[in-house]
């Protein structure tokens, strides 16, 4: 059985119903200059109970396609922002 990918990122937007946009930052090495560069990816993740707020750190997991561009699921809120 194949293990599903898990990523940790920050909630960028939660304006859609049952969907959160999660931003995942990573560092990649430049092939020419050998310096590390910040890269950012945005993923739309299914948030069944609308518990995510902007700025929260969440763990997302790969899942079946739920819509045209939603293929991730919010597994848990790792860290709350504010309160």
Q: Could you read off the pLDDT of 6-54 as tens digits, one per residue?
A: 999 999 999 999 999 999 999 999 999 999 999 999 999 999 999 999 9
Look at residue 63 in the predicted model and tell me its pLDDT.
Answer: 96
The pLDDT value recorded for residue 83 is: 63
CATH for 6-79, options being 3.40.50.2300, 2.60.40.3080, 2.40.50.140, 3.65.10.10: 2.40.50.140
Separation CA 52–CA 48 (nearest Å): 10
**Helix, strand or coil, per DSSP, at residue 34:** coil
pLDDT for the residue numbered 78:
96
Residues 6+ apart with CB under 8 A from 11: 20, 21, 22, 23, 52, 53, 54, 55, 56, 58
């Amino acid at each position: 059985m194949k293990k599903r990918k898990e990523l940790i990122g920050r909630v960028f937007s939660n304006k859609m119903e049952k969907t959160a946009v999660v931003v995942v930052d990573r560092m990649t090495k430049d092939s020419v200059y050998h310096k590390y560069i910040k890269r950012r990816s945005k993923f739309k993740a299914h948030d069944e109970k609308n518990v995510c707020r902007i700025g929260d750190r969440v763990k997302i997991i790969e899942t079946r396609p739920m819509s045209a561009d939603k293929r991730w699921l919010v597994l848990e809120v790792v860290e709350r922002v504010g309160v």
